[in-house]
Amino acid sequence: MDVNLRQIRAFLAVVGLGGFTRAASALNISQPALTIRIRQLEDQIGLKLFDRNTRSVQLTRVGQELLPVFQRLMRDFDSAMADIREFSEEPRGTIRVAVLPSFAAGPLPALIADFRTRNPRVSFVLKDAVGKRVLAMVRNDEVDFGIGVGGVDEPDLDTIEVCEDRLVLVYPQGHAAGDLPQATVPVISQFPLVLMDKDTSVRRLVDEAFAAAGSIATPACEATYMSTAVSMVRAGLGLAILPASAIEIRGFTDIATRPIDDVGFVRRIVIIKRRGSSLLPAVEEFTKALLAAVTGCRPASGGCLDLQVENGGAKALAMGIQGQ
């Protein structure tokens, strides 16, 4: 059966206006064209919908039974089209993001808060995960896009550069690491190290940087969460290597940080999306807001991007965290 919307609208117009002449005028078509549409609809159904004579048009029993069905169908269709138009005219819906834990706990919440003040009909679902899991969720369409680490070379994924995030050495206040002329891989290797789990993007970067310097990163302790790594540093178990953007390293008076003197300890933060996929208008708007905030950010020694809401707006600040 090949019934189309034009045929259904023609049927409803005849019923609503009480005749073919007025219905054809309302639909802005000729009466013969309207008659053809009704006949095609009756042919598809296999039964007559109207009893017609020179003076009146009456619904048949079948027409009477189909009338509420067609009315409900058109209401649902028109409602769906109105919702779609609203999606294009005003950002709305749920934005699903897979994001690195350091970025989720650091700069992202302030940007989301600012975005929602301007787009209150948009909600967010954040799935904070390690780099490999971020890629998997994007690829499996579990999220609209991901925020992960650069270096993605996958045929089904595209990336957009967001910012750079420098790794820093985290050590107890008063530790000899704070007095070193330089914090290079050979020097760092002399101390017990608290490293992140091997599945994390931070650990991958650390291992690659150590290998490039002709060394192997050997941990005294490993941790899955940055908060655990910080606690280990505070307990004197070793020095940690963590992102400068990590909120876990702020607010403690008994630990300090310093940059590592090696260009290999810098990771690129990128937006990751499925190649060729179309994003909802709300998702497009949010990614533009994220990139706009980063564009206004001035790099600092720490290379740490921090978004703060001030006076109702998202302010991008490059915050060096040396000495915190």
User: Exposed (0-12), middle (13-18) or buried (19+): which is 26, by Cβ within 10 Å?
Assistant: middle
Say which CATH topology domain 5-84 has. Answer: Arc Repressor Mutant, subunit A (1.10.10)
> Please, are residues 139 and 131 in contact by the beta-carbon 8 Å criterion?
no
d(CA 18, CA 15): 5
Question: What residues contact residue 85 under an 8 Å CB cut-off, 6+ apart?
Answer: none
Distance CA 174, CA 176 (A): 7
Report the pLDDT value the prediction gives residue 207, as an integer from 0 to 100. 96
Both tokens assigned to 160? 């957009």
CA–CA gap between residue 264 and residue 299 (Å, rounded)? 17
174 phi, psi to nearest 5 deg: 85, -5
CA atoms within 13 A of residue 133's CA, in its CB half-sphere? 12
Chain-centre distance for alpha carbon 36: 49
- Whether the CB-CB separation of 312 and 117 falls below 8 Å is answered with yes
Residue-level pLDDT, tens digit, the chain, 324 residues:
788 999 999 999 999 998 999 999 999 999 999 999 999 999 999 999 999 877 788 999 999 999 999 999 999 998 888 777 766 665 668 999 999 988 888 788 989 999 999 889 899 999 999 888 999 999 999 999 999 988 888 888 999 998 888 999 999 999 999 999 999 999 999 999 999 999 888 999 999 999 999 999 999 999 999 999 999 999 999 999 999 888 889 889 999 999 999 999 998 899 999 998 888 888 999 999 998 887 654 444 444 444 444 433 444 333 332 222
Domain boundaries, the chain: 5-84, 93-318
Phi, psi of 301 (to 5 degrees): -60, -35
Ramachandran angles phi, psi of 138, nearest 5°? -65, -45
CATH classification code of 93-318? 3.40.190.290
Q: Is the dihedral angle over the CA atoms 233, 236, 196, 96 positive or is it negative?
A: negative
DSSP codes, 88-118: HHS--EEEEEEE-HHHHHTTHHHHHHHHHHH
Question: Residue 318: what pLDDT?
Answer: 35
Cβ contact 265:208 at 8 Å: no
